[in-house]
Chain A
Amino acid sequence: MLLDLSEEHKEHLSFLPQVDSAVVAEFGRIAVEFLRRGSNPKIYEGAARKLNVSSDTVQHGVEGLTYLLTESSKLMISELDFQDSVFVLGFSEELNKLLLQLYLDNRKEIRTILSELAPDLPSYHSLEWRLDVQLASRSLRQQIKPAVTIKLHLNHSGGHNTSILQTDPATLLHLVQQLEQALEEMKTNHCRRVVRNIK
């Protein structure tokens, strides 16, 4: 599958052959850093001064490079497809090689970052548990009531959520049994067939 690059995009990228490969590599590094932490316009100004061009040009160059990397990573295109897509830009072989290397080196991390943009449900982080026995309460003395107290740590939208819950021994066994069945499900023929055939 080839990348579809718009005219505007190609125009932004046309800045890249005008600087040497060290600069392109640096732009690549900046692009990934911006994906990790968000963009920092000051960097554009600094680079623009050093290269003697407008800061807009630098910005477009970096953004064009970022879009190239993210689209390629999102679609998980093959090496060959990436090379073919970039070929239409008419860059030197050295630059094409550099871009391919940038793509392959950063693809995994970019995909991890992109996966964080998906509709977000709270996700499991960890669980702590404690065994308690209730011995008495205001309304009834001399009890022996075992309970398991659970602290469930969840992550949601960057934040951390903690729920404190309790359950009795019978329900605990039921929970374990049900969730073990859930794990077993992945090993069934049906699931294996789906995993094998959807690629």
Chain B
Amino acid sequence: MELSEYVQKGFQMLADPGSFDSNAFTLLLRAAFQSLLDAQADEAVLDHPDLKHIDPVVLKHCHTAAATYILEAGKHRADKSTLSTYLEDCKFDRERIELFCTEYQNNKNSLESLLGSIGRSLPHITDVSWRLEYQIKTNQLHKMYRPAYLVTLNVENADPRTYPKISFSCNMEQLQDLVGKLKDASKSLERATQL
């Protein structure tokens, strides 16, 4: 993990009981996780009465440093020993290291979930709806008498505002072909997971 001097300096300040007492340390740590994981969090996350006595510049620096480190650790799936080593280098005492690791462990799943969801992907199918109709006639062709399906795929795109739908019609043979191919795919998937 590559971490800048800025982050290291921030952590060194965080390690100092003179700048951050136990309570302030815990609050700042929680604030860092909250900023990252809580969708509704904003700047008010640092507006706690027990943090008021600390210089806002220092507060911001440490908050940013902690958040940066948490993201890097999450990205690389850091384990407890990696975390401990780095925090020791930043002169954290045993108690603070334990606190950090516990807090990290509590938030690990949400963090990894969040990081995993970032990124570009192909349009993602989320649902399907279908309609079966019996075609009787058109103005060009009478006495048709055949069933037809209209299938609509709900698709989620990278851009959260667009939810395009892909619709198409097909007859019975075509739908059987489609279902057959999808079943092949899911059987392959099953086999692959058993390897």
Give A contacts to B, CB under 8 Å: 74-76, 111, 114-115, 117-119, 121-124, 126-129, 131, 137-143, 145-150, 152, 154, 163-169, 171-176, 178-180, 182-183, 185-186, 191, 194-195, 198-199
Give A147's nearest chain B residue, CB to CB.
B121
A145 to B185, CA, bound (A): 16
Given contacts A131-B188, A168-B124, A171-B125, 11 further A-B contacts (CB under 8 A): A74-B140, A115-B141, A117-B141, A118-B141, A127-B178, A139-B115, A140-B118, A142-B77, A172-B189, A176-B182, A185-B132
Dominant SS among interface residues on chain B: mixed
Across chains A and B, the number of contacting residue pairs, with CB separation under 8 Å, is 165
Q: Is the CB of A179 within 8 A of B122?
A: no
Hey, which chain A residues are within 8 Å of B186, CB to CB?
A: 148, 169, 172-173, 176
Q: Is the CB of B143 within 8 A of A75?
A: yes
Q: Is the CB of B185 within 8 A of A129?
A: yes
Q: Is the CB of B125 within 8 A of A182?
A: no
Taken residue by residue from 157 to 195, chain B's Cβ proximity to chain A (1 for < 8 Å, 0 otherwise) reads as 000000000111110101111110111111011001100
Q: Which 8 A-B pairs have the closest CB atoms?
A: A124-B170, A140-B115, A166-B122, A167-B125, A182-B130, A76-B143, A139-B118, A129-B185
Give A120's nearest chain B residue, CB to CB.
B169
A195 to B133, CA, bound (A): 11
Q: Is the CB of B177 within 8 A of A126?
A: yes
Give A179's nearest chain B residue, CB to CB.
B179
CB distance from A85 to the nearest CB of B (A): 15
A166 to B155, CA, bound (A): 9
Is B138 an interface residue, CB under 8 A from the partner? yes
Dominant SS among interface residues on chain A: mixed
Give B contacts to A, CB under 8 Å: 74-77, 112, 115-116, 118-119, 121-130, 132, 134, 136, 138, 140-145, 147, 149-151, 153, 155, 166-170, 172, 174-179, 181-186, 188-189, 192-193
Give B111's nearest chain A residue, CB to CB.
A140
A59 to B157, CA, bound (A): 54
CB < 8 Å neighbour of A182 from B118, B132, B155, B166: B132
Q: Is the CB of A137 within 8 A of B123?
A: no
CB distance from A76 to the nearest CB of B (A): 4
Hey, which chain B residues are within 8 Å of A178, CB to CB?
A: 128-130
A121 to B151, CA, bound (A): 11
- Given the known A-B contacts A124-B169, A185-B132, are A169 and B189 also in contact in the complex, defined by CB atoms under 8 Å? yes
- A115, A123, A140, A186 interface centre (most CB from chain B within 10 Å): A140
- What are 21 residue pairs bridging A and B, where the CB atoms are less than 8 Å apart in the complex? A75-B143, A117-B138, A117-B141, A121-B167, A122-B168, A123-B168, A124-B175, A127-B178, A139-B116, A147-B121, A148-B186, A149-B122, A163-B123, A166-B123, A171-B126, A172-B186, A179-B128, A180-B179, A182-B151, A183-B175, A183-B176
